[in-house]
Structure 1
Amino acid sequence: MEGIHSSTRSRDLLRKIKEFTLSILEDLSEGLSPLIFIQSFRTYCTNLDSICSCRSNKPSGHEILTFQKESHVHRIGNVLLRVLLIVQQLLQENKHASKRDIYYMHPLIFSDQSVVDRAINDICILLQCSRHNLNVVSVGNGLVMGWLRFFEAGRKFDCINSPNTAHTIPVLVEDVKDLVSAALYILVVEKESVFQRLENDKFCSKNRCIVITGRGYPDVPTRRFLRLLVDKLCLPVYCLVDCDPYGFDILATYRFGSMQMAYDAKFLRVPQIQWLGAFPSDSENYDLPKQCLLPLTIEASPDCQIRGKLKPCYRDATFTKKCQIGDRN
């Protein structure tokens, strides 16, 4: 749900906010209970034979919020409209705030960060925009190194002159300009420890590439930055994750998007990403010693569904549960 030029987009969003709030006031003044339709989206790919641009972009249903339901009164009046007011102020003043900043503006009313997160997602769906269009940003955790140079908000990130030096991924990805690269491919690694090992081994000096890590589950800036690189540089992209349900889940988040932000999956997912491993079959193919493996426990085995063929998901050679990788998070 990317917008156009920022100032035009902000004016358009402010107009939508005004129209939305006026419609609620008009219904209330006439003694009617406003009905707010929140569309539902999905992330999974329905085309298994090619890179997806699939039906997950379209709503798959909707939730109706109304003042007639007691459980919805707090969600609409105390949370949704309050967060909408904060967003309106951010847009009017051209300022940015994190989700955590918004929560701490009214912690007693919001009660939990997840309440704010849901309200922001609801607003994005109602206004048909991405979260960063609301000037709501994440605190970035991702790192990048390699054969890359770009500018962001007037700052120069010159990774090419020092390809083995880690740089934090910009939070305001829409401000990235003059992107230049001499890389042949992009490598995404799950863990920061693997990233640091590649940094210490001067991997990028020996391999003309770009290396990215989201330090586990990737945040929105990391996913948006990766998508930007793939779109602008047209490079192949590979992903190295652990051979466990969490690794499969992280891979699925990069490739298909997350359930929480399914409405924006079209602009966050990277369907071209290729799985390097590690694969469940590696333990047998390379005869790994048992002491190198960890047992899969109930706590470490979330339902992992990646749309496609059934694949075994196990961390030791005796676990043979099968699952589909891709619909989680």
Structure 2
Amino acid sequence: VSSSKGLVTGQLSYYEEGRLINCSKRSSTSNGLPVPVHINKVSHLSSSAEYILLVEKETVFQRLANDKFCAKNCCILLTGKGYPDVATRSFLRRLVDQLHLPVYGLMDGDPYGLDILSIYRFGSLTMAYDAKVLAVPSILWLGIFLSDLGHFGLTENCLLPMSKRDEKKADAILNKSYIQQLAPAWWSKLAEFRTRRVKLEVEAISTVSFTSLADHYIPSKIRGQCYI
């Protein structure tokens, strides 16, 4: 049986081939349920969520799930475990189309985080035809940014140096005309990291306190509309 990379949890239920799936219940192996592979077999989406939080990495997903983030904040939590597969992107698009919820992306402050977020928003260059059916143009970048330093207990000590590979990847993204034209604020944030030759991981927030990400960073950023 084929399975998707993605995981979902939170205030969401749906039917898949006649079977009720309740995403607020954890599976036997993790805090999340696998994203459905065949989106055409999904029906009767139902949710009381106020937004969708899309996270880049499974480690962050599991941390937030362990902290009962969705129950406390009335949301849906989704991850593609890095670069997303088609099933995860298709599922996110379906959620947005039917539930009409805002989507906030929580990605590392590095070129790969922005590249992953861009795939969700614009589509994949290797599958240009998929943009109309898979892209989520409304997605917002919640962080993590250099401008977060000095807040939430984040200091310059949290910064990591960019590798040569990081710099090359950043240059490639910054040279993409559609990023400059359609997401200039995203482009500017990455340019700041590239200029300083540093990067910032989401996990840095948890060095302040174990629950700082769930209890302070995400709710404060959403409440203060500190996203782009």
TM-score bracket for the superposition, by shorter chain length: 0.7 to 0.9
Pair 1:276-2:171 in alignment: no
Pick the structure with more helix per residue. Answer: 2
Distance 1:315 1:259 in 2: 24
Distance 1:285 1:207 in 2: 21
- Which amino acid is the alignment partner of residue 224 of structure 1? S
- Which amino acid is the alignment partner of residue 124 of structure 2? S
> Alpha carbons of 1:286 and 1:146: their partners in 2 closer, same or farther (altered >3 Å)?
closer
- Which amino acid is the alignment partner of residue 319 of structure 1? R
- Answer yes or no: is the 8 Å Cα contact 2:4–2:85 preserved in 1: yes
Point out the structure with max Rg over C-alpha: 1
- Answer yes or no: is the 8 Å Cα contact 2:15–2:21 preserved in 1: yes
Pair 1:147-2:11 in alignment: yes
> Alpha carbons of 1:205 and 1:222: their partners in 2 closer, same or farther (altered >3 Å)?
same
Shift of 1:139: 4.2
> Alpha carbons of 1:288 and 1:269: their partners in 2 closer, same or farther (altered >3 Å)?
same
Q: How big is each residue's C-alpha offset from its partner over 1:57-104, in whole Å with a ceiling of 9 and x where there is no partner?
A: xxxxxxxxxxxxxxxxxxxxxxxxxxxxxxxxxxxxxxxx9xxxxxxx
- Which amino acid is the alignment partner of residue 157 of structure 1? I
Distance 2:71 2:153 in 1: 32
Across the two proteins, how many residue pairs are aligned to each other? 184
Aligned to 1:222, what secondary structure does the other structure show?
A: helix
Aligned to 2:162, what secondary structure does the other structure show?
A: coil
Shift of 1:152: 1.1
Shift of 1:319: 2.8
- Which amino acid is the alignment partner of residue 149 of structure 1? S
Shift of 1:265: 0.8
Shift of 1:155: 2.8
Aligned to 1:204, what secondary structure does the other structure show?
A: helix
Tell me: higher relative CO, structure 1 or 2? Use CA pairs within 8 A at least 6 residues apart: 2
Structure 1, gaps ≥5 residues long: 1-96, 98-137, 321-329
- Answer yes or no: is the 8 Å Cα contact 1:283–1:317 preserved in 2: no
Distance 1:299 1:281 in 2: 24
Paired residue for 2:219?
Answer: none
Shift of 1:181: 0.8
Distance 2:10 2:189 in 1: 34
Paired residue for 1:252?
Answer: 118
Paired residue for 2:180?
Answer: 307
> Alpha carbons of 1:152 and 1:278: their partners in 2 closer, same or farther (altered >3 Å)?
same
- Which amino acid is the alignment partner of residue 143 of structure 1? L
Structure 2, gaps ≥5 residues long: 199-228
1:193 paired residue among 36, 53, 59: 59
Paired residue for 1:319?
Answer: 197
Shift of 1:175: 0.7
Paired residue for 1:156?
Answer: 20
> Alpha carbons of 1:151 and 1:312: their partners in 2 closer, same or farther (altered >3 Å)?
closer
- Which amino acid is the alignment partner of residue 57 of structure 2? K
Query: What's the TM-score once normalised by structure 2's chain length?
Result: 0.73
Paired residue for 1:262?
Answer: 128
Aligned-residue Cα RMSD (Å) equals: 2.6
> Alpha carbons of 1:178 and 1:285: their partners in 2 closer, same or farther (altered >3 Å)?
closer
Q: How big is each residue's C-alpha offset from its partner over 1:130-153, in whole Å with a ceiling of 9 and x where there is no partner?
A: xxxxxxxx7410000011111112
- Answer yes or no: is the 8 Å Cα contact 1:294–1:315 preserved in 2: no
Pair 1:172-2:38 in alignment: yes
Aligned to 2:161, what secondary structure does the other structure show?
A: coil
Describe how 1:283-298 pairs up with structure 2 within 5 A. 283=149, 288-298=154-164
Paired residue for 2:48?
Answer: 182
- Answer yes or no: is the 8 Å Cα contact 2:13–2:45 preserved in 1: yes
Aligned to 1:188, what secondary structure does the other structure show?
A: strand
Shift of 1:294: 1.1
Describe how 1:1-329 pairs up with structure 2 within 5 A. 139-160=3-24, 165-283=31-149, 288-301=154-167, 302=169, 303-304=172-173, 305=176, 306-308=179-181, 309=184, 310-313=187-190, 315=193, 318-319=196-197
Shift of 1:318: 2.9
